[in-house]
Structure 1
């Protein structure tokens, strides 16, 4: 598997709503992504902290573009 095809963790969130917002924002910019460990953190809230939170997964090739999208998003409070 090429490095660009590897799936990596873009960011980890402890707030399920924020994780969904960021996922939707990336998908709106044509970046394929998914959330890992989301269900566990909702079913077992204590797992959220101990289990490392909700992980937003992206292809390695998209990581830099994801960072640019999030950093340049005025709605997220990143002027």
Structure 2
């Protein structure tokens, strides 16, 4: 996990719900740094630097593509 890189940063836990499903479906190893703290005290988001999506460097480009598709205007917006 020390070699994992940050691919994206989110402010609130609800923003990562669908993304978790997509990453699991793609069988990508990942973790969200600060996720637990944001669930306990969401007002600390800015102080802690948000929820950081960490992935292995080999998967970074694939994850960026997933994020790009998720944020595409043609998709339904969850949030």
TM-score interval w.r.t. the shorter chain? 0.7 to 0.9
Check whether the contact 1:23–1:34 (CA below 8 A) recurs between aligned residues: no
Count of residues paired in the alignment: 72
Alignment equivalent of 2:11, drawn from 11, 14, 17? 14
1:70 positional shift: 2.1
SS state of the match for residue 9, structure 1? strand
Alignment equivalent of 1:49, drawn from 46, 49, 54? 46
Alignment equivalent of 1:38, drawn from 35, 40, 53? 35
| Counterpart Cα distance in 2 of 1:40 and 1:7 | 20
Task: Identify if the C-alpha distance between structure 1 residues 14 and 24 changes in structure 2 by more than 3 Å, giving closer, same or farther.
Answer: same
Check whether the contact 2:3–2:57 (CA below 8 A) recurs between aligned residues: yes
The two structures, once aligned, show a CA RMSD in angstroms of 1.7
Check whether the contact 2:12–2:38 (CA below 8 A) recurs between aligned residues: no
Task: Identify if the C-alpha distance between structure 1 residues 10 and 21 changes in structure 2 by more than 3 Å, giving closer, same or farther.
Answer: same
Structure 1 unaligned segments of length 5 or more: list them.
none
